[in-house]
Amino acid sequence: MPPKLSLQVLYLAFTLSGFSGLIYESIWSRYLGLLLGHAAYAQTLVLAIFMGGMAVGSWVCGRWSVGWSNLLRSYALIEAVIGLLALLFHQAFRSFLSFFFDSITPFTGSVAIVTAIKWGSAALLILPQSILLGMTFPLMSGGVMRRYPDRPGGTLATLYFCNSIGGVVGVLVSGFILIRLLGLPGTVQSAGAINVALAVIVWFLARAPERALTLTKAEQQKNNENRLRSALLLLVAMLTGTASFIYEIGWIRMLSMVLGSSTHSFEIMLSAFILGLALGGLWIRSRIDTIPDPVRFLAWVQVIMGILALSTLAIYGSTFNVMQWLIKALPITNLGYLWFTLSSHGIAMAVMLPTTFCAGMTLPVITYVLLRKGFGESSIGMVYSANTVGAIVGVFFAVHFGMPILGLRNLIVAGASTDIALGLLLFAMLHRAGGWQLPFIPSAAGIIAIVITVASVQLDAYRMASGVFRRVQRRLDSGSGDLVLSHTDGKTATVDMVWQGTGLSIRTNGKIDASINRDPGGPPTADEGTMVLSGALPILLHPEAKTAANIGIGSGLTSQILLTTKVLRQVDTVEIEPVMVSAARDFRPRNELVFSDPRSRVYIEDAKTFFSTYQRKYDIVVSEPSNPWVSGVAGLFSSEFYELISRHLNEDGVLVQWLQIYEIDLPLVASVLKALSPRFVDYQVYAANAGDILIVAKKGGGVPRPDSRILKDNPKLAAELRRVGIAGIQDLEIRKIGSKRLLEHWLASLSVPANSDYYPRLDVDAERTRFLESNAHTLLFLRQVPLPVLDMFEGSGSSETPTKFTANAALGFTRRAFAATLIRDHLLGRVTPEALAAVSDIQREVRKVLDECTLRPVVNKTRTLFRFGLNVIPYLQPVETDALWRRLGSLPCASDLREEEQRWLNLFMAVGRRDAPAMGRVADDLLDRGVPPEFTVYLVTTSMLAHRVQGNYSRVHELWRGYRDRQFGADWLLLLDILAAGAAPQSRSTAH
């Protein structure tokens, strides 16, 4: 192969090596997150091990590769080993994980020992590959320079560019494409296959011998004379690496409040950071060999880089305006989401690229200087090693000290000051012959930039807490009375406490996590209803529970509700971010028991780590984390997580899982239900409000009915429930919208996979559904449908207790249920017209139904009966509907009926009695005779429901085949899908 073509192939090979290398970094953080817990900590450790391993690998090359005869063949062998290890990684990780949780954790009494083993094992899982990856750059660079020694600086810069640009593409392709298609196992194996292929190609190209770059005696003498200067340059390489990773950690936090803190946002920010490095290397490649004084050039680069980093704080505020404009301007479509993603990348580049462009020049220039000063090819490994050591220091300093102690602004200032100081140090070194002197212009520029930034640049807490990346959140404005009470940068998130009117909310990275109305006489927030129910449901379903764990402190209200019962002896609240716990104290006295009751303990820990480390079993576990689109949170909705929780529940234990049904679509909700279902004998789904559902899962046996005696024995709990519109057990039961018995066959029929840690469907798609403002509100139709679907599936039977509901503004079907009781009471003479009129928000719809049924003449009795049945039947007991139908017999809408009208009356009476044979018979008869189109879907659904519960599967499928192409609407089609799936041939053996 011609030498020029061979060189181009080597450049391409190293680009692909960078592509696979960044895939490893991205994928390993996901894998180790399964062992270590929260994504932020896993990413910190992965970065540290990744960089640490590369530092060791590059140091090894710097120390010994000079004596190796063929560096490219050594590179090929290294790539082959990396690829083979990647191909085996998934199975090795799964085996280790099983061994760790099954054989080590249960028999280790010390939490400290378990933690040490876990972190040490995590390091060993990726350290060998990281060391090998660290050897690739020195080996490839040295091998190419041996073969093409004319322009060493240009060669170094080109290889740096190729490897970096490959990394940019690798991050984006793995995050947006490969993980979606192949999952984590397929993605890491794809990277491994690339490494093996590269090894074969480079081995073939490396057949020709290499000429080692040996040092002459004069060069060795020059080398010895420049020891101090070389040490200084290695120090610069290390500390500029520290500063660069301080920038990366700081910018990621800053931009998380602009772009959102999703995994895709992290991938976008990482790719923008590396792109700047790549472009810096590309720009310097054609100039580096002709720079008259590269040390002076490097000094200017360091000073300019620090000033540019400071400037990111000044322009940061404008990025919120850009994002706010984008959210308003972009269409809510898949094309709009594509533009949102590209625009997010543009915002990230606008912040990062100028500074990282400079950073991309530093390593090639430092290495080139050392090569010119006679340190040979070993300097490649030494510079790379020093830089990666500095990166490790930067990561740990930024996450564990800089962010929580200095704050976000001062963290960036610290990094910029480091780079400026390094530049001034290099300038001083140049003038050392006449004494250590600092040139005026760079010194003044750097110092003035730092002083101006510290004195005048303040990050706007109102903008940072506004969540401008979401349409559902209003931008905060101090002029409108909004008040940010506190703004704190924690290790994993920036937390704000915000007053809006009488509402107090806690926000992480701009996203509202919980809100409470501090006015006791004011209406509760929607979040209050969710938090109260999350704590109340497990108490009412498992009144004998002694221990409980709550994942995610939020406002602390859920743990407060759990602590209202004296039966519980221990309530453990698990929260990953210490600042969240401190901020939650501002909600007192509403959550006072969390901080004062001796039964309450708060643990600062990741949920998975907490359960696997402490090895406790609970009667109740409540999981109420942040939204699944937040990076790392989707793992708390996965098959593996529910398996872990199941192991830590007692046999009759209950899990309450919160899940949003806003900014998410039905397939993603189904993927969560499919992940949870196999790990629990039974589950039921409750609507907390119009945007939240609670999945109540029982480890052993069926989920029981709520125990009404608890409300009598626990007045505090009863008062909390009344505040959110739940006056009794019936108000809870009306919120039940689904169950395992109803949903399991439908879930099995869907092609969407169960959300898994290894196939993270939820994490991959959640940001997209957030942008599209998707929703799964069709699930609420399972309760709104004018048929007693759940009653007939669950076989709950009739109760002698009169139906009594409370209208709740947060749930439309509770209003309709309350209206049904008003109609019942009015027709049976139990409520006066005055009392009816007093319910102003309900009275109009009730009056319309009553007027149609009681005023003469009734023009269309079928339509009137239909409307009456739809408004009353689903919500009342069979004994109550029987009394109503008897009363209707004397009213205009139900007297002197024609044959067709009598059939409709018979149908509604059968539905009211939950009489499946009669329902199916009359509905089929009406369908055969032909009905107006607006009645068809009701009759089809009624017939399918009746035949489904009777086990007449052939009739269910006959109806489904005949009517599934009709334009019935998404709500009705969901229910028809559920009924048809339960009658599918493959599910008949297990159908209930």
Would you give the DSSP letter of residue 694?
A: E
Question: Quick one: pLDDT at residue 502?
Answer: 85
Would you give the DSSP letter of residue 401?
A: I
| Dihedral sign computed on CA atoms, order 75, 79, 82, 85 | negative
Q: What is the DSSP string of 220-268?
A: HHHHHHTHHHHHHHHHHHHHHHHHHHHHHHHHHHHHHHHH-S-HHHHHH
| Dihedral sign computed on CA atoms, order 477, 478, 480, 486 | positive
Q: How far is CA 269 from CA 368, 634, 766, in A?
A: 29, 20, 18
Cα 563 to chain centroid distance, Å, stands at 29
The strand ranges marked E within 364-435 are: none
Q: Higher confidence at residue 553 or residue 968?
A: 553
Buried b (16+ CB within 10 A) or exposed e, 238-248: bbbbbbbbbbb
Amino acid at 933: P
- Answer whether residue 988 shows pLDDT above 50: no
Q: Which pair of structure tokens corresponds to residue 503?
A: 């509402």
Picking from 240, 169, 238, 199, the residue whose alpha carbon sits closest to that of residue 26 is 169
Judge whether 1-211 and 215-459 match in fold.
yes
Range of lowest pLDDT (495-509, 721-735, 740-754, 899-913): 899-913
CA end-to-end span of the chain: 70
Residue 873 main-chain phi, psi, to 5 deg: -55, -45
Cβ–Cβ under 8 Å, residues 391 and 244: yes
Q: Higher confidence at residue 42 or residue 886?
A: 886
- Answer whether residue 353 shows pLDDT above 90: yes
Cα 405 to chain centroid distance, Å, stands at 26
Inter-axis angle of helices 3-36 and 152-173, to 10 degrees?
Answer: 40
CA–CA distance, 169 with 271 (Å, rounded to integer): 7
- Answer whether residue 991 shows pLDDT above 50: no
CB atoms < 10 A from the CB of 132, how many?
A: 22
- Answer whether residue 780 shows pLDDT above 50: yes
Amino acid at 876: L
- What tens digit of pLDDT does each residue of 791-810 get? 888 776 556 678 888 888 77
Bond from prior residue into 802 cis (ω within 30 degrees of 0): no
- Answer whether residue 852 shows pLDDT above 70: no
Best mean pLDDT range from 54-58, 121-125, 917-921: 917-921
Q: What share of the chain is helix, strand, coil (3-state, %, to 5)?
A: 70, 10, 25
Would you give the DSSP letter of residue 110?
A: -
Quote the percentage of the chain above a pLDDT of 90.
Answer: 62
Q: Is domain 1-211 given the CATH code 3.10.440.10 in the classification?
A: no
- What tens digit of pLDDT does each residue of 202-230 get? 999 988 776 665 555 555 555 555 677 88
Q: How far is CA 148 from CA 213, 314, 364, 811, in A?
A: 11, 45, 16, 73
Q: How far is CA 412 from CA 105, 244, 309, 418, 544, in A?
A: 40, 10, 7, 10, 53
Q: 3-class SS at 657? A: strand
Residues in the chain: 992
Q: Higher confidence at residue 4 or residue 636?
A: 636
Question: Quick one: pLDDT at residue 559?
Answer: 97
The strand ranges marked E within 180-287 are: none
- Answer whether residue 900 shows pLDDT above 80: yes
Bond from prior residue into 589 cis (ω within 30 degrees of 0): yes
Question: Quick one: pLDDT at residue 30?
Answer: 83
pTM for this one?
0.91
Q: CATH homologous superfamily of domain 517-783? A: Vaccinia Virus protein VP39 (3.40.50.150)
Question: Quick one: pLDDT at residue 887?
Answer: 78
Residues 93-100: what's their mean pLDDT?
87
Task: Give the CATH architecture of domain 215-459.
Answer: Up-down Bundle (1.20)
Cβ–Cβ under 8 Å, residues 96 and 34: no
CA–CA distance, 66 with 77 (Å, rounded to integer): 17
Q: 3-class SS at 2? A: coil
Environment class of 360 (CB within 10 Å of its CB; exposed 0-12, middle 13-18, buried 19+): buried
Cβ–Cβ under 8 Å, residues 310 and 354: no
CA–CA distance, 708 with 578 (Å, rounded to integer): 37
Question: Quick one: pLDDT at residue 40?
Answer: 55
Q: Where are the domains of the chain?
A: 1-211, 215-459, 517-783, 787-897, 915-992
- Answer whether residue 769 shows pLDDT above 80: yes
Q: How far is CA 83 from CA 92, 124, 125, 205, 796, in A?
A: 14, 17, 15, 19, 58
- What tens digit of pLDDT does each residue of 603-612 get? 998 888 888 7
- What tens digit of pLDDT does each residue of 971-985 get? 999 999 999 997 765
Residue 853 banded pLDDT, cuts 50, 70, 90: low
- Answer whether residue 41 shows pLDDT above 80: no
Picking from 501, 507, 494, the residue whose alpha carbon sits closest to that of residue 466 is 507
Q: Which pair of structure tokens corresponds to residue 33?
A: 């997150």
Question: Quick one: pLDDT at residue 218?
Answer: 56
Quote the percentage of the chain above a pLDDT of 70.
Answer: 91
- Answer whether residue 992 shows pLDDT above 50: no
Q: What is the DSSP string of 780-837?
A: GHHHHSSS-HHHHHHT----SSPP----BTTBHHHHHHHHHHHHHHHHTT-S-HHHHH
Question: Quick one: pLDDT at residue 58?
Answer: 86
Question: Quick one: pLDDT at residue 813?
Answer: 85
